[in-house]
Structure 1
Amino acid sequence: MAQLSFFSAEANPPVLDDLAGLLCCQGQVVSFGGTAARLSVVVDELWRAQALVAACAERGVPAELTTSEEDSPLVRTPFRADLIGFAVDWTRGAVKAVPPGLALDGAMLRLWAMAAGRWSEGGYLLGLDPRAPDTHEPLGGALARCGLAATMGVRGGGPGLRVSGQRRLNRLAELVGGSPVEVPHGEWPVVSRVRATG
C-alpha cells in the first residue's frame, strides 16, 4: 500500500482554509461591512453542488443548494465572520486576486476538482474563473509549485489548467483522494484512469 503524501486530502482533517479551492475556479467571495463574508459557486452539474455542500459541512460551514439566475446549481454559505479572511486574501480592491505565494494542498485541489474539474484531451482540466483572468497565471504557478505543472486549456468554452503526463496525473489523483459519491465516469482524477491515459 502506497504511503499517503502529507499534502493529500486524505492525510489531514478538513479545515476552513480548504475552501480556498472554490476560489481557484469560478467561486466568489463577497464581504459585508468588513466583518463577515460569504462564499458562493455556480457549478454545471448537481453532483458537484451536492459534494460541495457536504464538503462545507465537514468544515463546519453550512451551505445551501439553490439555483442561479441561469438555472444552474448554486452553492452558497451564509455571511460569517470566520470567512472574512477569504475576502481579505482573495481580493485586491473589488477584484478577485490570488494571494501571493498561495500554497495549494490536496484538500484545496479536491474542492477545486469538485467544482470545476474533468478529463479533457488526455489530461485533467481544472476550470478557472473566466471573469478573473488575472488569477489564471498565478494559479498556474501555484500548481507548478506543488508538482503539477499545467498548460492553459479550454473546458466547455471556459478557461482551465490542464494537468497531463502520467507522473503528474498520478500525483493529482493521490492529492485529491477518492471521488465523492455519485461522480459520473470521467469527472474525477482516479489512478485507473491515469494508467489508461499514460
Structure 2
Amino acid sequence: MAVTLRTDRLLLRRWKDADREPFAALNADPEVMEHFPAPLSRPESDALIDRIEERFDENGFGFWALEVAGTGEFIGFAGLWVPRFHAHFTPAVEIGWRLARSAWGRGYATEAALRALGFAFDDRALDEVVSFTSLGNVRSQAVMKRIGMSHDPSDDFDHPLVDEGHRLRRHVLWRITAAGWAAKVLPGTDVRPW
C-alpha cells in the first residue's frame, strides 16, 4: 500500500477510475505530449495507469495522481519511477511529472516534485534520484533546476526506446543526491530556500 502525500495545494494519491477520462484527454493533447514520440490513445492511456498501479504494488511508490486540494480536480501525475531500459545511469529512480495544460504555470509540478523528492530521500533513504527529458523540453528542465537538481552535459544520452534519427532521441539527464538534498535545507530547519 503506497502512501498518500500532501502539499499546501496538492494531494498526491493512488489512481481512481474517475481519473481515466481526464488522463486520456491530457495524453491526447499534442501540446502536453510535444516531447513524447506521439500522443496516447485511450487504450494506451488506460494501460499506462494500469502499469503505474502495478509499480506502486511492486515498489511502494510510483507516479501519484495529482489532485488539487479542496477542489478534487485531477491535473496529472508526479512521482517516482524505476526505468526499465538500460543506460549508463541505470538502475536508478527517476522523478517525473505530466500535467494538463490548464495546470501549467502555477508551480504545481515544482511543488509536487519537491514533495516526491522529500519522500524519496527522507522516507525511502534513496541515495540519488534522476530526471531526464528530451533536449528541447526547456519547461521540464526548468522544474529540474528549481527542485535542486544539477545537469552535467557529459551525462546526456540517446534514449534507447526512441528510434535513431528521431528528433526526441537525445536526452538530458539531471541528478540530485541525498547529500545534495540535505544541503539544500536551511540550517536548523526543514525549509528549502526555493
Normalised by the shorter chain, which TM-score bucket? 0.3 to 0.5
Structure with greater contact order relative to length (CA < 8 Å, sep ≥ 6): 1
TM-score calculated relative to the size of structure 2: 0.33
